[in-house]
Structure formats: structure tokens, C-alpha cells
Amino acid sequence: MIKIGILNLQGDVSEHFKMTKKAIKKLKIEAEAIKVKKKDEIRSCDALIISGGESTVIGKLMEKENIIETIKKEKIPIMGTCAGMILLAKETDHKQPLLGIIDMKVQRNAFGRQRESFEEKIKILGKEFNGIFIRAPAVTRTGPKVKILSKLNDKIIAVKQGKNIALAFHPELGNDTLLHEHFIKEVL
């Protein structure tokens, strides 16, 4: 049985938990979603999801739980959304704890004050998807192994490196399980 861990430190963890369960049901596979934060719990997972929230807070809590090295060493596929995207990056425009798993630089709050929160139809994986952006980051540099999955107004909002996926928006806050299903299929 495949275990998809949802990192349970801060942010919209329950929303990811629900969407992951919904995606598992749709895919009709033997898998379970579990909320995790301790080293052993993380080690028992086949994949990990890092939610939206406040990346500085999640980073500090990761340090407190002493799980940054654990997550890096596991080398399991990770999907990070919004704050989770920031945490996956190698660099940001701000000094904060990072996992550095995806070779990219991320700019926090990249869509400016007037547009701190908005919804917009985006194109991803050949489909249209309702992107929910809340003080969203954007990717400003990608390394050679990073594939760009989507852009909005020239800003990079979704990338993939190996099986790791980083999204600037919040698929966990909508109803469409497209991206959760895509991520889970990568783990199978």
C-alpha cells in the first residue's frame, strides 16, 4: 500500500489531505493519505505533500522537528504548493530555511499587492485548470533539470524536476484533482 504523507506543520494541510483521498478514490488504487511530521512518520511515506501556508513558519517548524535532512535523504517524490513551492527551492529572495530539492530560485509574493489573491484559468498538463493564487510565488530561475509546466503572464508558476512538483497556486483549495492524480501516478 502506497503512503502519501501530508506534512502536518502549518497551512492548509486538511485540504490537501481531503484532495489526496479524493484523488486516490478516483484512481481506484491501493493507497492512503496520512498527516505526518515526525522523522519516523516521514520515513514511512512513499511521497510527501507540502501545503500552502507561510513558508517561513513551516521552515522554522521543520527545523524544530529536525526533519530537513530526513526529508532530503528520503529522496521520495514531493509536491509543494505555494509555501511548499518556496520550501522546495534552492534559493529565494529572503533568508529562510529551505529544502533545496528543486534547482530553482523563487520570488515570494511575486504577483504584487493589488493582485495578492486571485483566480485565473491556467494551462497545465494539456488541460485547463482553475488556479487559485494567494500571495503566490513565482520561479525566477530554473536549472537544466527543471521542466516548466506552466506560466502565467510570463511568470513561471509550475515546475517539475524528476518526480518533484512545485506549484505557485493551490490545487488543494479547488475541486479538480488533476494535479493530485498526476502526482500520485508518479509514485505508483
Q: CB of residue 2 vs ligand GLN: minimum separation in angstroms?
A: 26
135 annotated ligand binder: yes
CB-wise, 109 or 140, nearer to ligand GLN? 109
Q: CB of residue 102 vs ligand GLN: minimum separation in angstroms?
A: 16
- Report DSSP letters for 41-100, one per residue: HHHT-SEEEE-SS-HHHHHHHHHHHT-HHHHHHH---EEEETHHHHHHEEEESS------
**172, 180, 181, 182: the active-site residue:** 172
134 annotated ligand binder: yes
Q: CB of residue 27 vs ligand GLN: minimum separation in angstroms?
A: 26
**16, 170, 180, 182: the active-site residue:** 170
Torsion sign across C-alpha atoms 121, 127, 133, 138: negative
Q: Active-site residue 45, yes or no?
A: no
**15, 16, 82, 181: the active-site residue:** 82
Q: CB of residue 104 vs ligand GLN: minimum separation in angstroms?
A: 15
117 annotated ligand binder: no
Integer Cα distance of 166 and 29 in angstroms: 24
Query: Torsion angle, CA of 22/1/181/12, rounded to 10 degrees?
Result: 60
How many Cβ atoms sit within 10 Å of the Cβ of residue 36?
23
Confirm if 157 and 168 have CB atoms less than 8 A apart. yes
CB-wise, 51 or 161, nearer to ligand GLN? 51
Residue 152 grid cell: 502565467
Q: Active-site residue 180, yes or no?
A: no
CB-wise, 5 or 52, nearer to ligand GLN? 52
**Helix/strand/coil for 138:** strand
51 annotated ligand binder: no
**Helix/strand/coil for 13:** helix
54 annotated ligand binder: yes
| Site for ligand GLN, rule CB under 6 A | 52-55, 82-83, 86, 108-109, 134-135
Extract the annotated binding site: 53-55, 108, 134-135
Extract the annotated binding site for L-glutamine: 53-55, 108, 134-135
Which sequence positions are flagged as catalytic?
82, 170, 172
